[in-house]
């Protein structure tokens, strides 16, 4: 799904679920690299998102991914552009 190493930002909810389900950051990155997009949510707010399915040791892992709109952020995606 992703090319190269990208910055991954986790919401508090995601960190809580990862801890509860014993899902490591390495597993998340592996799923993001090799997983399959099984649903798209183009109207999600604040960003369109996708549901990615991947596997870790015969265990299915679902990850919801949102990618920021490059038109709304600076080239490093650290600061919003002025509207």
Q: The domain containing residue 54 runs over which residues?
A: 12-72
Report if residue 83 sits inside a domain. Answer: no
Q: Which is more confident, 47 or 83?
A: 47
Report if residue 49 sits inside a domain. Answer: yes
Q: Domain tally for the chain?
A: 1
Report if residue 2 sits inside a domain. Answer: no
Report if residue 20 sits inside a domain. Answer: yes
Question: What tens digit of pLDDT does each residue of 14-73 get?
Answer: 999 999 999 999 999 999 999 999 999 999 988 889 999 999 999 999 999 998 778 888
pLDDT at 1 over 60: no
What is this structure's pTM? 0.76
Distances, alpha carbon 9 to alpha carbons 28, 56, 57, 61, 83, in Å: 11, 21, 24, 18, 24
Residue 80 pLDDT class (50, 70, 90 cuts): confident
Report if residue 3 sits inside a domain. Answer: no
Backbone phi, then psi, for 18, in 5-degree steps? -60, -45
Looking at residue 2, what is its pLDDT? Answer: 45
Report if residue 6 sits inside a domain. Answer: no
Which two structure tokens, joined as six digits, stand for 2?
Answer: 């992703």
């Amino acid at each position: 799904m992703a090319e190269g190493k990208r910055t991954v930002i986790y919401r508090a909810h995601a960190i809580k679920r990862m801890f509860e389900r014993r899902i490591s950051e390495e597993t998340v990155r592996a799923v993001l690299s090799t997983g399959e997009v099984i649903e798209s949510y183009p109207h999600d707010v604040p960003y369109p998102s996708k549901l990615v399915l991947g596997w870790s040791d015969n265990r299915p892992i679902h990850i919801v991914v949102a990618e920021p709109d490059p038109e709304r952020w600076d080239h490093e995606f650290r600061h919003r552009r002025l509207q």
